[in-house]
Structure 1
C-alpha cells in the first residue's frame, strides 16, 4: 500500500509541475515540447523515449527514463548499431551543370548535420557520391565518389557543406546528366565525448553551436528549409522525387485540404 501511495503522490506532483521547470529541460527544448502539447513533467514522463531522443537527443531520453524510475545510465549514449549515417536522393530531373549539383549536395549536407545534432553525434569522415542513370546504358555513364576527413569532428552543417563542395569540385566531370547523389558520414561519436584538438577555439565553437541550435529551432517551428544556406539555392528545379509524392492525407494532418466558406 505504501508503494501505491508513493506512486500516486509522484504522479500527482508531476502532473502539476511545469515541464520548463524540470532540471535538464532548456528553453529551446521546452518550446519544442510545447509544440507537441507537452506542458507538464507528467506528460513528459509518458512521452515515447524514441521520440524524446529525436527532439532533445539522448539527454532528453535519459530524463524521460528517470521520470519513469529507470536509471539514466541504463539508456545507451549511442545505439551500438549506428556506425554511419547517410542522406541520398534521386533527382526529379537530371542535373547537367555544376551549380545545380552543388546546390543539391549542399542541401544534403545541411540535412546530414541536422540529423547528427538530433542524435547528439559528430562525424569524423564524409564521403560524397553522384552518378548518372545506370538503367540507361545507352547514355554516357559516369560515377564519382570522393571523401575527406572532418577535423575536428563536427555536426556543424556549414562545415559539412564546405567539405561536400570540395569533394564535388574534385570529382566533377562536364558532359554528363546526373540522376542521384548522396552524402555518407562515418566515424560517428557522441558530441560530448568527441576528441578535442590542440588549437580549438572554445568561444568560436560555442557560437557555432548556438547558431546551429537557432537554425534547428526555426526550421522545427516554421518547417524544414525555412532557413537554408545560399549555396543550396532557392528554386531547386531538380527537386527530389520524394518531394513530389502524393499528399499523405490519412497519416499527416498538415496534408489535409482546407476548405473555407465565404460569408
Structure 2
C-alpha cells in the first residue's frame, strides 16, 4: 500500500502557524510581484475567489476583509522540509512529489493498521509543525491521489481515506463521480478526446480497454488505467519527464528603461535556468532572450522582441548561459521604452548522459568540461546548503527595478536570525 500525504492549503497554513490571528479569517497568498492569488484559505474559497485571480480585480468587500500576504518561499520551503522529516518517522519509503505532497510507502505494514497509523501521522505532523495534512491510502499512486481528494473534501473521513481497488463500493462510487480530467496525469485536452470516446468519468476510464487507450493516447495513460484497477504501473519519473524547454522570467517590480536593470535580471534568470538544467541532468544548445513592455498601458510606446543565441557546444554551465543571454539582450534592447518583463529560455535540451563530443572538441576540451561540471556542482551544493544565491554571478544593486514586490511578506521565521518570532508577555 502507498499513501499520498498532502498539506492542506499549505502556504496559508504556514502563515497561520506563526500568526494564530489568521485562524478563521479569509487569507490569500499572492504570486510574484503581489499580482495574483496562488493560495487560498477555505474561508477565501467560500467567497468565490478563484485560483489565479488578479488582485486588482478582487471585489472590494474581499479586499477589505481578506488578509493578502506576499509569497514567503523561504518559510514554505523550510516548513516543507520539516514535514518530510516527520514522515520519515512513519516509513522509510518517502517520495517527495512537490513542496506540499509526498508519497509514503507502507510496504510490509499490516493493512488493518494503516488507517490508525495514518491518523497518528496526521496528529504528529500537526503537533510538531502546526501544518494540517490529509492522507489517501491505496494500492497505487493514482488511487492514492483519489483517496486523498476524498479525505480532504469529505469531513466524514477525518483526514484519512483508504480505498481498496478490488473490493469496495466506496471506490466505485468515488470513481463514478470523479470527472476524468480530475485524475492525476489527465490533462484537459486529453479529457476532451476521451469524451469523444464516451469516457467522461474515472470509472469509465478504469473499465476501458488498456491496449485501446495506449493506441489512441500514450503508454502513460494506459498505465493510469492499470493503476485505477489497483495494479502499480507508475513511478514519479513517469509523471515528471525532463523538460524540453526551461524558461525563467518575471515581471519587474516597476517599469524601467535602464539597461543595467535588464542586464542584472537576465544574469539572474540565466543562473536560475542553469540550476534547473543541471538538476534534471540535461544540457542546452541555445538560449533565447525576450523583452516586452507593459501591454496593459497602451498609452505607452509598445515593444516586444526576442533573440536566439546558439551555444558553442551543448552545456549547462551558468557562465556560458549567462554570456549567451547577455548577447541576446544586446540584440533586442532598444532605448526609449519602459520595460515590464525580461526572460531567458533554454532551447534544444537533451540528456547530458547521452552527450557526444562535437567535431570541434578534443580530449583536452573534454577535461575542461569535467572541471566545469565540478565547479557548477560545487556552486549548486553551496547554494542548496547555505541558502539561495550565496554563490552567484555578480552582485545586483540594492535598488533595482527588477526586484520583486513583496510588500506584504511575513517574516522568514525559520531561516533568518534577524526575523525570529518576538514573544511579548
Calculate the TM-score normalised by the size of structure 2: 0.43
**Counterpart in the other structure of 2:343:** 182
Is 1:229 matched up with 2:393? yes
CA distance in structure 1 between the aligned counterparts of 2:393 and 2:242, rounded to whole angstroms: 31
Change (3 A) 1:145 1:214: same
Is 1:205 matched up with 2:252? no
CA distance in structure 1 between the aligned counterparts of 2:356 and 2:349, rounded to whole angstroms: 11
**Counterpart in the other structure of 2:284:** 123
CA distance in structure 1 between the aligned counterparts of 2:289 and 2:91, rounded to whole angstroms: 39
SS of residue matched to 1:138: coil
Is 1:258 matched up with 2:405? no
SS of residue matched to 2:301: coil
CA distance in structure 2 between the aligned counterparts of 1:197 and 1:102, rounded to whole angstroms: 31
Checking the alignment, whether the CA contact within 8 Å between 1:127 and 1:184 is kept in structure 2 is yes
CA distance in structure 1 between the aligned counterparts of 2:373 and 2:239, rounded to whole angstroms: 20
Is 1:48 matched up with 2:212? no
CA distance in structure 1 between the aligned counterparts of 2:89 and 2:353, rounded to whole angstroms: 28
Change (3 A) 1:45 1:121: farther
**Counterpart in the other structure of 1:247:** 409
Change (3 A) 1:50 1:75: closer
Is 1:172 matched up with 2:336? no
- Alpha-carbon deviations, 1:53-105, whole Å to 9, x = none? xxxxxxxxxxxx9xx8xxxxx77599547321110100001221212211110
Question: Residues 126-145 of structure 1 correspond to what in structure 2 (within 5 A)?
Answer: 126-145=287-306
CA distance in structure 1 between the aligned counterparts of 2:265 and 2:402, rounded to whole angstroms: 8
1:235 Cα deviation (Å)?
A: 2.1
CA distance in structure 1 between the aligned counterparts of 2:334 and 2:250, rounded to whole angstroms: 20
SS of residue matched to 2:398: coil
Change (3 A) 1:77 1:95: same
Larger of the two Rg values belongs to structure: 2
Checking the alignment, whether the CA contact within 8 Å between 1:78 and 1:190 is kept in structure 2 is no
Corresponding residue pairs, total: 210
CA distance in structure 2 between the aligned counterparts of 1:44 and 1:209, rounded to whole angstroms: 35
- Alpha-carbon deviations, 1:99-142, whole Å to 9, x = none? 22111100000000011111111112221101111100101111
- Alpha-carbon deviations, 1:8-42, whole Å to 9, x = none? xxxxxxxxxxxxxxxxxxxxxxxxxxx9797xx99
Checking the alignment, whether the CA contact within 8 Å between 2:414 and 2:420 is kept in structure 1 is no
1:253 Cα deviation (Å)?
A: 4.4
Checking the alignment, whether the CA contact within 8 Å between 1:128 and 1:146 is kept in structure 2 is yes
Change (3 A) 1:150 1:78: farther
1:223 Cα deviation (Å)?
A: 1.4
CA distance in structure 2 between the aligned counterparts of 1:215 and 1:111, rounded to whole angstroms: 12
CA distance in structure 1 between the aligned counterparts of 2:269 and 2:239, rounded to whole angstroms: 23
CA distance in structure 1 between the aligned counterparts of 2:247 and 2:291, rounded to whole angstroms: 13
- Alpha-carbon deviations, 1:211-233, whole Å to 9, x = none? 11111111112211111212x52
Checking the alignment, whether the CA contact within 8 Å between 1:132 and 1:143 is kept in structure 2 is yes
- Alpha-carbon deviations, 1:157-179, whole Å to 9, x = none? 11110000000111211111111
1:239 Cα deviation (Å)?
A: 3.7
CA distance in structure 2 between the aligned counterparts of 1:227 and 1:81, rounded to whole angstroms: 25
Single out whichever of 96-105 and 198-207 deviates more from structure 2: 198-207
Question: Residues 152-167 of structure 1 correspond to what in structure 2 (within 5 A)?
Answer: 152-167=313-328
SS of residue matched to 2:94: coil
1:260 Cα deviation (Å)?
A: 6.7
**Counterpart in the other structure of 2:379:** 215
CA distance in structure 2 between the aligned counterparts of 1:124 and 1:78, rounded to whole angstroms: 25
SS of residue matched to 1:48: strand
Change (3 A) 1:171 1:122: same
